[in-house]
Structure 1
Amino acid sequence: MGIQFNVFKGSKNGEIIEGKGYRDAKPTEVIVKISHCGVCGSDEHFRHAEQGLGHEGIGLITEVGSSVHAMSEFRVGDRVGMAWFHKFCGYCKQCITGHQNQCVNSTYFGNADQDQGCFGTAVAWDVSTLYKIPDEIASEDAGPLMCAGATVWSPLYDHGLRPGDRIGVIGIGGLGHLAIQFASKMGMEVVVFSSTESKKQEALAFGASEFHVTKGVETLGSIAKLDALLITTNVNPDLALFLPALAAGAKVFPLTISMEALPFSPLALIGGFLSVIGSGLAPTASTQAMLAFAAKNGVKPQIEKFPMTQVGVTEAMQKLRDGKMRYRGVLVVPN
């Protein structure tokens, strides 16, 4: 049967353009009619590429491929979410050991299916990277969980951290405000660092137990040591400020896309028994656990909504670029 769709794309000059496309469902794919899509900083990296944008899509399945019923529980009418990855192979070592986010044969946003994107009305999507959305989570809140939520969840869930651990979060933005909620509701003690006091009350409301201003500060003083540090800022902070606050064996997670080098000396790592861990989106089982946890514990993004139109997409991406989004933009397909 297939589907025709509209999609908003980048362009060489950075202008958002509207295109059209058509897709049939391959045997392992479903057709999803999009209702909402989160706006992520990673979309900005592809604004000058002639491809469909958007990778935090939420929608309803309207059609399934010929093999879908035999290999999954997805059915027409299911509300589902999509993220960065488009397809996992299912047979490489990483896939069969439950680390699908490291699949060596994966396809993903930016390297495949460039005719479509979740900034649009519909997509064809492989069931290997599709997730059912719990009824307790509104579609407008679900989009940002698919990327931002899964990004901050994985360090907390997949790397041996436990209730009672002290978790430092640098930055209170699209990633940071979700990291605070997840960590606090997982029973961890959340210590937030921000350049100014402007977001202090919001950080405490999200679940932070401590708040420290870093602008113009040469030392963090005698705060209790941190078991992990999540860097969620758009640019790398001066880590010399934070190293003395890390407990022996602490784990550092740089979570935003940055080309800058991290200023770690081997001596700092060896002397503190520190680990610096590259962590992207969570693997499949972990993402499913994240959605279940968010549904049960009321974790949701603070969002601003924009219409899924050329004007709406342009406005949302400009506000994100200007650093004025509080805290995740969500595009809504007009009825």
Structure 2
Amino acid sequence: MTVEATVFKGSETGIVQGKSVLATPTGTQVLVRITHSGICGTDEHYKHADMVLGHEGVGIVEQIGEGVLDLAVGDVVGWGYIHKSCGRCEQCLKGQDNYCRAGVEMYGLNNFHQGSFGSHAVWDESYLFKVPAGLAPEHAAPLMCGGATVFQVIEDFNIRPTDRVGVIALGGLGHMAVQFLAKMGAEVVVFSSTDAKREEALNLGAKEFYATKGVERFEGVKSLDHLLVTTSSIPDWAPFLALMKPKGAIYPPYCRLVQPRLPYDVYPHGRTDHPRVCSRRPRYSQAHA
């Protein structure tokens, strides 16, 4: 059955506009009535584009196509940045579907008529994740992109419970990174511009907290194995590079339109940086099943 859905799209002026679209699930597609959506910093990149915004969606299955096998009407599901991949190429079979050789479909590149800013959306069932009954949908929505992004960094680069891990900023990505790292047993160190978020950081599981405003060098702070940079802007690298152990790694898991620059002396010590934009699907979904 066709449903008239309301969606909210970007525009040339940057003003978000409501539109009506028709939605009908076929084959392996699922019609989701959206109940909650996160707001990601990446959404701002597309507010001038003629596309439906939002990619941290949670809702209730209202209709299913004739080929749907694993979802049923009434299920609570969520979806994130990636919409679909082939599921058969080497990268997909390795669980790295965000690098699908056949051409991954993702937010901002495909399916411009669908998003989480709206009343309904139609997605392939393979990229809809069941939300556990004990997880509130308003808490699940930000996990679909922000949570998945930092989780992928932790897994891909083998961050271990014995590691000392820094997190710069305690915003959308940072507060989830702190919780994931703390629960796996890592020694978490939070850096924020002022002391305003000290108590929150410690309550989330951080062992140490340092305010960074005006700091040229951190005195008496033990060195770090890893550093997740979750700020919305590029930090002053100097005081943080001095904290990194030889072979230490820096991960900026955000999407910015400014190219970060690192000084040459980072590299002779084996220090590296690993940018990340979006997370893959299967392992993250399994870990939160």
TM-score for both structures, normalised by structure 2: 0.95
Partner of 2:15: 15
How many angstroms does 1:286 deviate by?
Answer: 2.1
Q: How does 1:289-300 map to 2 (within 5 A)?
A: 289-292=286-289
Partner of 1:35: 35
Secondary structure at 2:266 match in 1: helix
Which amino acid counterpart does residue 15 of structure 1 have in structure 2?
Answer: I
Structure 2: runs of 5 or more not aligned: none
Partner of 2:245: 247
Q: How many residues align?
A: 288
How many angstroms does 1:178 deviate by?
Answer: 1.0
Partner of 1:298: none
Partner of 2:225: 227
Partner of 1:98: 95
Q: Is 2:73 the counterpart of 1:76?
A: yes
Partner of 1:309: none
Distance in 2 of aligned mates of 1:182 and 1:148 = 12
Query: 1:176-226: CA deviations, max 9, x gaps?
Result: 111111111111111011111111111111111101111111101231111
How many angstroms does 1:157 deviate by?
Answer: 2.3
* Alignment RMSD (CA, Å): 1.4
How many angstroms does 1:68 deviate by?
Answer: 1.7
Partner of 1:263: 261
Distance in 2 of aligned mates of 1:233 and 1:192 = 12
Which amino acid counterpart does residue 79 of structure 2 have in structure 1?
Answer: M
Return closer, same or farther for 1:113/1:261 CA change in 2, 3 Å cut-off.
closer
**Does the 8 Å CA contact 1:81/1:133 hold for their aligned counterparts?**
yes
Partner of 1:302: none
Q: How does 1:206-217 map to 2 (within 5 A)?
A: 206-217=204-215
Distance in 2 of aligned mates of 1:51 and 1:68 = 26
Partner of 2:277: 280
**Does the 8 Å CA contact 1:21/1:116 hold for their aligned counterparts?**
no
How many angstroms does 1:291 deviate by?
Answer: 2.1
Query: 1:18-56: CA deviations, max 9, x gaps?
Result: 101012213121111111111111111111112111111
Secondary structure at 1:228 match in 2: strand
TM-score for both structures, normalised by structure 1: 0.83
Distance in 2 of aligned mates of 1:177 and 1:198 = 14
1:109 aligned to which of 107, 110, 114: 107
Partner of 1:332: none
Query: 1:119-139: CA deviations, max 9, x gaps?
Result: 111111012221111111001
2:149 aligned to which of 148, 151, 154: 151
Distance in 2 of aligned mates of 1:126 and 1:275 = 37
Return closer, same or farther for 1:290/1:150 CA change in 2, 3 Å cut-off.
farther
Which amino acid counterpart does residue 114 of structure 1 have in structure 2?
Answer: F
Which amino acid counterpart does residue 16 of structure 1 have in structure 2?
Answer: V
